[in-house]
Amino acid sequence: MTQASDEQLQIIDAPLAPMSVIACAGSGKTFTAVRRLAQMRRQLGNHRGRVALLSFSNIAVDTFRREYQELLDQNTSTGIAYGRVEIDTLDGFITTNVLRPHAYRTMGCDRAPFLVAGTEPFLQNRDFKFWAQPVGRPAFPVNPPDLHKVVVNLHGGQPTFHLRSQNNLITINNGAAVTTRLGALGAYTHDLGRYWCHRTLIEQPGILRALAHRYPHILIDEAQDVGTVHQAIIEQLIDAGSQVSLIGDPNQGIYEFAGANGTFLTQYGQRPGVTQLGLTRNYRSVHAVLDLANRLSARTDTAERAAPDTTHGTYFVPYRNADLQNLVAAFQAAVLAADLKLERSAVLCRGRLMANKLAGNEGAPGQGTVKSFAQATILRDRHQDYRGAFKLVVAGIVGLLADPPHGLAARIAQPVSYTDEWALRRLVWAFTRNPEMGLPAATLTANAQWHELMLQRTRTLLARIAQDHGLASVGNLGNRLARTGLPAAPLIATADLAANNMACIRTDTVHQAKGESLDAVLYLAAKKEHASALLAGVDTEVGRIGYVAVTRARNLLWLCIPANSLEELRPALLARGLQEVGAAAPA
């Protein structure tokens, strides 16, 4: 996209005032938001305030920054009109401006707050254990590596604490007490960090006033993902004088556990003084895919793309669990026959367990840190997921240090925010990437060759860290890195690795693919209820998850349903405009 449409220009050139933009999937939100950001800064003229463009994922932020820089490069005579802007995640924004510099006073700690990774030794102390209380069952402690699953919401200004388990929320019976104890140390998770930010802005109103003065205008992308705590913080900024604009698609609100169901975005445009606009042209999907999306969402968006000559459209296909791999192979053949790219296509599942099963990644062998290193090896060698592998290795290495500084794992893993850890990060990154000198290859025998090399090279890395950074390792390294649970076989068989590299198709969850544009999508509805919810529309979270999967597809969509549900669901599938694979023969 090079030229803005009339709809987009309405948003880009609008006066400096709060807006609510309801945008359909594939409507060029990134293109529009970046140009709106530049125009807002231009309209501010010599005003020293900053304009912030905030989103919810690092991938989205990287895209915004890249496109904004390209916009700058195309307009060399920009001057101050393009200065004083900030592009970040919403969590990054509040962490930089509130949490790190100011929250320690509210938290009652004597140091800058730090993000915990879940591997810190002090988390084993029972005073820092959250206890989950299922209905009608005994309470159980939340393991430290699962701290990121502790969810905080605000209802009537009061916090509630739950453990996210699969698709359920389990009440935590000591959430406030443990959060206070962790806060006294300066420790927080992402969810707890939002809670402390909200508390800080209440208890330190001068910080809130200064923040609103510094950022008189804030544009929030993917605003359907605003949860209860984020909303409370945004409301604080609005009350303090910041003018906030939202852009997003309520039909893609799929984080209901955090209270993010799109309601805030939908209702925001009804407030006095807020202009409500829309984006209704889809630049991503062919007409058949958009027609299905319109039927599901009761929208009337229009497709910009012309239909290609090759096979395209929306199809359904029944499957049995025993035939899943054959189903994926058939989909891959259909993608190639349609002259689409496997590397730009995906198999999407509703849950991580099914995605891992299809990817052949159902869990690494071993125990403790060895299990983490084995998982990192599989991510690197099977999936080329270097970022995911790096995070696991960082957590493992920090867990092997005798007395690591608080928050060290987060500082190593987030180089943009913690530039003082670049040297240490390079050491761990090199260890993660290089199977010849660092984490050994997955095709080596796990309990012999792989383990022996892993232990030897980990010792070498820890010695280098001690020499260069003064961080000593634990004394019982051999026990901490025992071969218990490792098989007398490779972590990945050579044949499996070759087949995976040749296939190139990605298997992931819908949540991970949100915001992406994919040539072809196979959405696996593992249960009849999932398919039924999709066909029923976007009134439920399960239905919205299906809608997100549908709207990722540019050319080709396969909806896969359990074979024992086919006869019951076929009339509804046909009524929605899908064709049966066997009848339409897209492959």
**Beta carbons within 8 Å of 11's beta carbon, 6+ residues apart:** 19, 21, 32, 36, 247, 277, 279
| Helix, strand, coil percentages, rounded to 5, for the chain | 50, 15, 30
Per-residue pLDDT of the chain (587 residues; tens, 9 = 90+): 678 999 999 999 999 999 999 999 999 999 999 999 999 999 988 888 899 999 998 889 999 999 998 888 887 655 545 578 999 999 999 999 999 999 999 999 998 999 998 878 889 899 999 999 999 999 999 999 899 999 999 998 899 999 998 778 999 999 999 999 999 999 999 999 999 999 999 999 999 999 999 999 999 999 999 999 999 999 999 999 999 999 999 999 999 888 898 999 999 999 999 999 999 999 999 999 999 999 999 999 999 999 899 999 999 999 998 888 899 999 999 999 999 999 999 999 998 888 877 776 667 889 989 999 999 999 898 878 888 899 899 989 998 999 888 888 888 877 655 667 888 999 999 999 999 999 999 999 999 999 999 999 999 999 999 999 999 999 889 899 999 999 999 988 755 554 554 456 889 999 999 989 999 999 999 899 999 999 999 999 999 999 999 999 999 999 999 999 999 999 999 999 999 997 644 44
Is residue 101 a contact partner of residue 391, using CB atoms and an 8 Å limit? Answer: no
CATH code where residue 269 lies: 3.40.50.300
Interhelix angle 386-399/422-433, rounded to 10 degrees, is 110
Is 321 within 8 Å of 313 (Cβ atoms)? no
Would you state the pLDDT for residue 587? Answer: 42
Q: What is the pLDDT of residue 233?
A: 98
> For residue 355, what are its two tokens?
């995605």
The pLDDT, as a whole number, for residue 363 is 72
DSSP class per residue in 483-503? -TT--SSBSS-HHHHHHHHHH
One domain, residues 317 and 238: no
444 and 517 assigned to the same domain: no
Q: Are residues 403 and 479 in the same domain?
A: yes
204 is a domain residue: yes
End-to-end CA distance of the chain: 30
Domain range for 218: 6-93+199-282
DSSP H or E stretch at residue 205: helix 205-214
101 occurs within a structural domain:
no
- Note the pLDDT of residue 502: 43
Calpha distance 513→411 (Å, rounded): 26
Among candidates 376, 403, 397, which has minimal Cα distance to 462? 397
Report residue 365 as tokens: 């062998």
Q: Determine the pLDDT at residue 503.
A: 52
Cα-Cα-Cα-Cα torsion 545, 551, 552, 556, nearest 10 degrees, comes to: 120
State residue 361's pLDDT score: 63
SS3 (DSSP) at 366: coil
Could you tell me if 87 and 67 lie in one domain?
Answer: yes
pLDDT in tens, 550-582: 999 999 999 999 999 999 999 999 999 999 997
Task: Among 437, 459, 490, give the residue marking a domain's end.
Answer: 490
> Strand 506-509's sheet: what is its strand order?
506-509, 346-349, 518-524, 553-562, 313-319, 579-580
Complete edge-to-edge strand list for the sheet that includes strand 158-165: 150-155, 158-165, 168-171
Whether residues 277 and 293 fall in one domain: no
Are both 325 and 466 inside the same structural domain? no
- Please tell me the predicted confidence (pLDDT) of residue 422: 85
Q: What is the pLDDT of residue 496?
A: 55
Backbone φ and ψ for 274, nearest 5 degrees, come out as -105, 125
Q: Is 170 within a domain?
A: yes
Q: What is the pLDDT of residue 2?
A: 74
Looking at residue 58, its pLDDT comes to: 86
Phi and psi torsions of 359, nearest 5°: -80, 0
Run of H or E residues at 106: helix 100-107
Virtual torsion, Cα 127, 133, 139, 141, nearest 10 deg? -40
Measured between alpha carbons, how far is 311 from 289 in angstroms, rounded to an integer? Answer: 12
> Of 119, 94, 115, 101, nearest to 410 (Cα)?
115
569 lies in some domain: yes
Question: Can you name the residues that pair with 282 across neighbouring β-strands?
Answer: 303
Do residues 89 and 203 share a domain? yes
Region for 347 from its dihedrals, namely left if φ exceeds 0, alpha if ψ lies in -120 to 50, beta otherwise: beta
- The four Cα atoms 450, 453, 455, 458 give a dihedral, to 10 degrees, of -120
In single-letter form, the type of residue at position 51 comes to V
Q: Are 14 and 81 in the same domain? A: yes
pLDDT of residue 80: 45
Handedness of CA 456, 462, 465, 466 (dihedral sign): negative
Within 10 Å of residue 344's Cβ, how many Cβ atoms? 15
Q: Please report how many Cα atoms fall inside a 13 Å half-sphere around the Cα of residue 118, on the Cβ side.
A: 18
Which of the listed residues 490, 516, 544 is the one where a domain comes to its end?
Answer: 490
pLDDT for 418 equals 60
Domain shared by 353 and 438, yes or no: no
Note the pLDDT of residue 82.
57
On whether residue 103 sits in a domain, the answer given is no
Q: What CA–CA distance (Å, rounded) separates 274 from 281?
A: 22
Do residue 341 and residue 373 come from a single domain?
no
Torsion sign across C-alpha atoms 455, 458, 464, 466: negative
Does 497 reside within a domain?
no
pLDDT at 426: 93
Q: How many domains does the chain divide into?
A: 4
DSSP string of 250-300?
GGG--BGGGTBSSHHHHHHTTSTT-EEEEE-EESSS-HHHHHHHHHHHT--
Cα angle vertex 457, ends 451, 461, to 5°? 140
Residue 100 lies in a domain: no
Q: Are 380 and 461 part of one and the same domain?
A: yes
Residue 1 lies in a domain: no
Q: Which residues pair with 562 in a beta bridge?
A: 319
**Side-chain-facing half-sphere of 153: CA atoms under 13 Å:** 20
Segment 87-146, tens digit of pLDDT: 999 999 999 999 999 999 999 999 899 999 887 888 989 999 999 999 999 999 999 989
What are phi and psi for residue 530, nearest 5 degrees? -70, -45
Same domain for 163 and 212: no
Distance, in Å, from the CA atom of 311 to the CA atom of 333, rounded to the nearest integer, reads: 12
What are the residues whose beta carbons fall under 8 Å from the beta carbon of 290, sequence distance 6 or more?
26, 282, 301, 302, 303
Last residue of a domain, one of 195, 222, 248: 195
